[in-house]
Amino acid sequence: MLLQMNPALHIRGAIVDEGGHAAPRDLFLHERVLPAAPAHALRVDLEGCTLIPGQINAHDHLELNHYPRSSTREQYTSAHDWGADMNARLNDEPFRSLRAHPLADRLFIGGLKNLFSGATTVAHHNPPHRDLWRRGYPVRVLRRYGWAHSLAFASEAEIRASYQRTPPEQAWFIHLAEGTDARAAAEYGRLKALGCVGANTVLIHGVGLTDDDIADAAPKVRGLVWCPSTNAYLLGATARIAAWAAAGGRWALGSDSRLTADGDLRDEQQAAARTGGLGHAGYDPATLIGMPEAGHLQAGALADCTALRGERVALVILGGVPQFGDTDLMVRYPHIRSIRARLNGHEIRLHPALAHRIDRCTLRYTGLEIDALPSRWQMFSFRLRNRLSSL
């Protein structure tokens, strides 16, 4: 531990905004949010910033975020048709080359997308690849969950088996009613007939849910994940989140992957805001995915937060450790030898471990350029000097 000391942080001067309630408040962070300032905490002034909790992205496919947004038709009435079109193109370029990159690198790009948007906790929809929980993955990923792709791309026997093997306290996710056609409107009834509608069921999309479906499902299931920009891109229509909320349903936002979405979770929040949807009751992603320690900044919560300057993400802290941020903010952590970079033309600094992982990745993150990295010996001597000077 000698060379990996991360001091507790005492953050002052910021407005803390949790779910629309904003007030000036000091924040004490180590791996978790602490109730009071611990001895030897590093005091950091974040005056002029608004601090929000690390956001929860309730739906992404983390290995699909290095692909371009793709569609072969102006509009679909069913995402199943889009899926069939995409499957037929997997051996065409650019997909053929992009699929050839190591899985760990493809997953890493998805993690970076989320980190840069301030989404520090993600529910991944696809197999639970081990790399998602390896040291150095950029964000937290929901560990215990069940999932099936959809009624079109999994057999009914597979869907039923997946639901039955998921413990009732864990969320079970499925794409459902992602369409505007009769097939989509029939899917909730089909899922119910399979015995897969219960208190841990999470419906992704739900664009084609009927009035009766909403009345039945909203009070019964764990929740609905709304992905407005993906819905708009593929279907030209989106979930009726106001009706869902009015029926007592819980909901969350999901970015989905870059294959279909505007971009990241902040883009999704903006898409939701454009429809007036962010004000509806029932928004509770932490309960929906089953991570009550995420998505807020009360004592005991995960020490994940984002500092905003206006609408822009200016700093992201994960587990009490700043990961990247504006240059003037990152230099306030003298124990971190951060690395200069530019993200979408904006000067930032990256935590060195993150910068080294980005450097090793076979995929480039669009919009990110990193200056020359210090050698391992330079990193070692910096940490040693820093440690000795703090004794």
Number of residues binding to Zn ion, judged by CB under 5 A: 1
Q: What is the DSSP letter of 325?
A: E
Cα–Cα distance between 142 and 134 in angstroms, integer? 13
HSE on the CB side for 76, CA within 13 Å?
Answer: 27
Q: Which is nearer to Zn ion, 65 or 121 (CB)?
A: 65
Least Å from the CB of residue 181 to Zn ion: 18
Cα–Cα distance between 353 and 350 in angstroms, integer? 8
Least Å from the CB of residue 139 to Zn ion: 17
Least Å from the CB of residue 264 to Zn ion: 14
- 339 beta partners: 350
Least Å from the CB of residue 389 to Zn ion: 49
Three-state DSSP class for residue 174: strand
In 3D space, the residue among 65, 68, 83, 87 whose CA is nearest the CA of residue 132 turns out to be: 65
Least Å from the CB of residue 129 to Zn ion: 16
Phi, psi of 241 (to 5 degrees): -70, -30
For the window 222-261, what string marks contact with Zn ion as x by the rule CB under 5 A? ----------------------------------x-----
Q: Which is nearer to Zn ion, 171 or 321 (CB)?
A: 171
Structure tokens at 288: 């929906």
Q: Which is nearer to Zn ion, 256 or 268 (CB)?
A: 256
Q: Which is nearer to Zn ion, 68 or 334 (CB)?
A: 68
Least Å from the CB of residue 268 to Zn ion: 12
Q: Which is nearer to Zn ion, 108 or 226 (CB)?
A: 226
Cα–Cα distance between 17 and 373 in angstroms, integer? 35
Cα–Cα distance between 374 and 337 in angstroms, integer? 9
Cα–Cα distance between 256 and 253 in angstroms, integer? 9
- 318 beta partners: 321
Q: Which is nearer to Zn ion, 55 or 323 (CB)?
A: 55
Length of the chain, in residues: 391
C-beta nearest to Zn ion: residue: 256
Q: Which is nearer to Zn ion, 200 or 230 (CB)?
A: 230
Cα–Cα distance between 235 and 79 in angstroms, integer? 8
Footprint of Zn ion on residues 254-273 (CB under 5 A)? Answer: 256
Structure tokens at 340: 């200069």
Least Å from the CB of residue 178 to Zn ion: 8
* Residues forming the site for Zn ion (CB under 5 A): 256
